[in-house]
Amino acid sequence: MKILLVHNFYGSSAPSGENQVFTTEKKLLIQHGHEVAEFTRHSDEIRSAGGIGTLKGALATVYNPFMARAIQKKVEEFKSDVVHVHNTFPLISPSIFSAIGHSAARVLTLHNYRLLCPAAIPMRNGKVCTDCLDLRSVWPSIKHGCYRNSRIATLPLAINVALHRGLGTWQHEVDAFIALTDFQRTTLVAVGLPSDKIHVKPNYFPGKPTVVPWLERGTYAVFAGRLSEEKGVAALVKAWTAWGPDAPELRIIGDGPLRGVLEKSTVGSPIRFLGQLPADETIHQIAHARLQLLPSECFEGFPMVVREAFAVGTPAAVSNIGPLPSIVKHGFNGVVFEAANPQSLLSTVRNAWQTPDLLEQLGTGARQSFETLYTEDINYACLMDIYQAAITRNVGLRNL
């Protein structure tokens, strides 16, 4: 099969799970003998150009005719069977879907909610907000300046959502969507995406890493992610500092706007800020931990850190929001607490930590979840089924 992978890489200063999925799936396809080509752009192109770059990105977000022509040429030259798109924001734009037409099957992975939510993450003022989804309108996002707290910055994204909803891009110009969870699929079907085109395929972890024996692990818990409001890290720190003198060490991996404030507030506590680490070191830290924490206060797609934890047999403690409680089964591969509630987080995690042998049992369940749901072989088979469904639909429409 000849597969053209399309992705707009986010800025190099902000590591992205989407970038990681793109790279990992490319390797998977090549390993299975497929011929793979790339059509990519990088947000660094506009970030380094200052104000002109920002304007260029804003204009390209809505509809980029140059990218439309370029991908049309690429598809013709490569003779693609499938064009698999991961991200078009901001430089590529959804203009590519109509440009491809029926020349190849068009597949789009839904890493977030950007198709219908200008902010991509349905959240405002620290709380889940689905106004643009429920009302099927972008006016709430413009009113509240949901993207970067700016109406001006939100405007091109809002126009993009409204334009392609009006053009029917998502109804007619995509042959298959990949949702990361059943929760995401249900949410998007409820607001108008065609149910017969949305397939569920979670993220996976490549290879089968060795599980570190429990007695060889450190007596610490770990958080890995962006230190920002929607990730719930402030609630995590509040809960940990309230634990008391017997609190285990908490290692926080990552960077973000809250880091400075949180570090100052935790001096003298058992909380260590390790900063942004290379991917292999992050995995090492998770593999040697007794618990991984994900206290998100927003709708996640499919958190990369959860599949990493499961792959190395580390249980996860997550908030009960979005798809998280369906990924982490309370009492089997982790524990679940109430979102944005430091007291619930504290009592749930402390109880699990202090119950003899419980975390080790949950770790066994975590690894079992990985082996039955999130291996590369299972994921590859699912991806091929989706590609075949897209090809069948595309050929059928081409022959009408």
Which tokens sit at 271?
């909380």
Cα diameter, the chain: 71
CATH superfamily of 2-204+376-398: Glycogen Phosphorylase B; (3.40.50.2000)
Q: Count the alpha carbons within 13 Å of 308 in the hemisphere toward its beta carbon.
A: 25
| Fold that domain 214-370 belongs to in CATH | Rossmann fold (3.40.50)
Report the alpha-carbon distance of residue 258 to residue 260 in Å, rounded: 6
Task: Say what the pLDDT of residue 167 is.
Answer: 96
Query: Nearest 5°: phi and psi at 94?
Result: -70, 0
Angle at 41 between CA 36 and CA 46, to 5 degrees: 170
| Cα radius of gyration (the chain) | 21
The continuous run of DSSP H or E covering 106 comes out as: strand 105-110
Task: Say what the pLDDT of residue 11 is.
Answer: 79
Give me the helices (H) in the chain, please.
17-31, 44-47, 50-62, 65-78, 95-100, 131-135, 139-144, 151-167, 169-172, 182-190, 233-241, 259-265, 279-287, 304-311, 324-327, 342-354, 358-373, 376-398
The continuous run of DSSP H or E covering 42 comes out as: strand 35-42
Task: Say what the pLDDT of residue 396 is.
Answer: 84
Beta-carbon neighbour count of residue 239 at 10 Å?
A: 25
The CA–CA distances, whole Å, from 173 to 3, 4, 162 equal: 18, 16, 15
Which tokens sit at 160?
């993009």
**What's the predicted TM-score (pTM) here?**
0.93
Instruction: Report helix, strand or coil for 44.
Output: helix
Q: What is the pLDDT along the chain (400 residues), one digit of tens a residue?
A: 999 999 999 877 666 789 999 999 999 999 999 999 999 999 888 876 677 777 778 888 999 999 999 999 999 999 999 999 999 999 999 999 999 999 999 999 999 999 999 999 999 988 899 999 999 999 999 999 999 899 999 999 999 999 999 999 999 999 999 999 999 999 999 999 999 999 999 999 999 999 999 999 999 999 999 999 999 999 999 999 999 999 999 999 999 999 999 999 999 999 999 999 999 999 999 999 999 999 999 999 899 999 999 999 999 999 999 999 999 999 999 999 999 999 999 999 999 999 999 999 999 999 999 999 999 999 999 999 999 999 999 998 777 6
- Residue recorded with tokens 């720190």: 237
Sheet containing 291-294, strands listed edge to edge, beginning at the edge strand earlier in sequence: 271-275, 249-253, 220-224, 291-294, 316-319, 334-337
Angle between helices 233-241 and 342-354 (to 10 degrees): 60
CB 116 within 8 Å of CB 188: yes
Among residues 69, 62, 8, 4, the alpha carbon closest in space to that of 37 is found at 4
Domain ranges in the chain with CATH number 3.40.50.2000: 2-204+376-398, 214-370
Task: Say what the pLDDT of residue 47 is.
Answer: 72
Report the alpha-carbon distance of residue 232 to residue 278 in Å, rounded: 22
DSSP character for 4? E
Task: Say what the pLDDT of residue 266 is.
Answer: 93
